[in-house]
Chains A and B, each alone.
Chain A
Amino acid sequence: MIGALTILLVFQLLGEVIVRWSGAPAPGPVVGMVLLFLLLQGRKTLPDSLRATAETLLSHLSLLFVPAGVGIMQYGALLSREWLAVVVALVLSTLITLAVTALVMKAVLRRPPGVRQDG
């Protein structure tokens, strides 16, 4: 558990260092994720403890968003002025994004490249 947490933190640290050093627009933890993935691919093994820790952390992923979400209380004034625009934009945009992403993937999946339609 501690070993696994250390691995995750060290890779996050590596990601942050690379991002600062290179000035890449990518976020540090995402770079850390890519690096850890490459290491796992290279070694072709996944330690059980790392798998268990990752699964525990990811099964409670939604908890980790609560502290930032409570920040909504700071925006009472702005939201009382613009709540309609914000709420409608968030609801419509999220639904449209879900639909567009899924339908585009389905359409591309149906027509793999190099395979002509209708024989």
Chain B
Amino acid sequence: MARIGDIWVYLATSPLVWLAMTLAVYLAGQWLFQRSGGRAVFNPVALAITLLVLLLLLTGTPYTTYFSGAQFIHFLLGPATVALAIPLYLHWERVRRLFLPILAGLLAGSLTAMLSAMGVAWLLGGSPPTLLSLAPKSVTTPVAMGIAEKIGGLPSLTAVLVIVTGVIGAVAGPALLNGLRIRDDAIKGFAIGVAAHGIGTARAFQISGLAGAFAGLAIGLNALLTALLAPLIVRWLHLTP
């Protein structure tokens, strides 16, 4: 019979362990979230990431080994982005009628996201690579990484900042918007999508299908606009390294 150490040596190099772990830990996070009565602080993504980082540190597993398994989940971000066409199609009538508010909200939100993140970090002494990695933080992961690379940030740091942003938006978004007396689910969803991309969108779908559709629309539009604006803003601020 093989010793447990030998089994671990085999498993540690196969993608199976960390793929299974990612799913199991995410389900555990969801269970906790539901058990807490849907309290926003128990965000399933934040819980899953925290648990996985602890597990990796305890077992001394490098991130690259983890990612060789978890990449199969990461890959689904692409088809999931394409799938946003479906809620958009289902709610198109509403989108068409709100064309002007959407355009205005998108432009204001996209600029605010980039400038406020870079501005606050700059005031608090953030280094140039950090500022550049922060610029696309409200855009969905794969796109944000591409933008970071283009403007001279650190793509893998950007991925992390994007996800923390998403968790903050998902946790605080609905309460903040209620506090601002935003009653329209379309506006709620769109604002959450602009500020907090896919993780916010997952939360917006819990508000309603309409909010989710508008959040999904916002992900796509903000990805396009930020990809266009970020290089211009960086040049304008003379941040290019």
Tell yes or no: A66 within 8 A of B by CB.
yes
CA distance A103 to B195 in the complex (A): 13
B189-233 interface bits toward A, Cβ cutoff 8 Å, 1 = contact, 0 = none? 011101110110110010000001000100010011001100100
Asked, given contacts A41-B92, A51-B86, A66-B22, whether A94 binds B195 with beta carbons under 8 Å apart, the answer is yes
Assembled-state Cα–Cα distance A5/B22 (Å): 22
A90–B205 contact, CB under 8 A?
Answer: no
Q: How many residues of A contact B (CB 8 A)?
A: 73
The distance in angstroms between the C-alpha atoms of A100 and B23, with both chains bound, is: 35
Interface string of B23-50 (1 = CB under 8 A from A): 1011000000000000000001100110
A-B contact count (CB 8 A): 314
Majority-rule SS of B interface residues: helix
Residues on A lying within 8 angstroms of B by beta carbon are 5, 8-9, 11-12, 15, 25-30, 32-34, 36-37, 40-41, 46, 50-51, 53-55, 57-75, 78, 82, 84-86, 88-109, 112-113
| Contacts A26-B224, A58-B212 known; 8 new A-B pairs at CB < 8 A | A33-B83, A37-B88, A70-B67, A73-B57, A90-B161, A95-B168, A95-B172, A102-B190
| Interface positions of B (Cβ within 8 A of A) | 22-23, 25-26, 44-45, 48-49, 52-53, 56-57, 63, 66-67, 70-71, 73-74, 76-90, 92, 98, 100-102, 104-106, 108-109, 112-113, 116-118, 120-121, 124-127, 130, 134, 137-138, 141-143, 146, 156-157, 159-166, 168-170, 172-173, 176-177, 180, 182, 184, 187-188, 190-192, 194-196, 198-199, 201-202, 205, 212, 216, 220, 223-224, 227-228, 231
